[in-house]
Structure 1
C-alpha cells in the first residue's frame, strides 16, 4: 500500500480552516436595520440637537439618537420589527410616527 503525500499541506489546512470559518460566519449572521433621516422645523430649517427615539412596540427596547448640526440622525443596529419613532426638542411639540416597520 502506498501513501500519497501532498506537496502543499499548508494550503490544504488553510482551505479547511477557511471552510470552517465561513460556515460559522454564515451561522452567526443576524439581520439588523438602521433608521436615518433629517429633522427640520416648521420653516424647513434643519434642527440640530433633536432627540430621536426608536421604541420597539414588540419588545419595549428603546434606542436613542441625536441630530447633528445638519439635522441628520442615525439609529443603527435595530432588530427587525415594528417601532414607534419620535422626535423631541425643548420648545417644540413632540412628534411620533407609529408603526414604522423595519
Structure 2
C-alpha cells in the first residue's frame, strides 16, 4: 500500500511538471498568458486604427508577438504609413512596432 501511494504521488508530480512546462514561453513560442496579452494588444491596435478617420483599417494587417506589433498591407500614402505607426505606438502594451506596410 505504501509503494502504491508513493507511486501515485510521483505520477502526480510528473504530470504537474509536464503541464506547467507546456505553458512556458520560448524564443519562438509564447506562453498562454503572453498569447492572451498579445491578442488584447492586437485588438486595441485594430480598434485605434479603425477609429482614426484618416486610415482605412481594411488596408492594414496587425500581428503581435510578445508585445512587438507588426503592421503590413498596402496603403495609399507615406502619411498613412506614418499615421498608422504613430497610432500603434500610442496603444498601451505595445513594446515596439515593425513597419512592413507598402505604398500602392
Give the TM bin, normalised by the shorter chain: 0.3 to 0.5
Q: Which of 1 and 2 has greater Rg?
A: 1
Higher helix content, 1 or 2: 2
| TM-score when normalising by structure 2 | 0.40
| TM-score when normalising by structure 1 | 0.40
Higher strand content, 1 or 2: 1
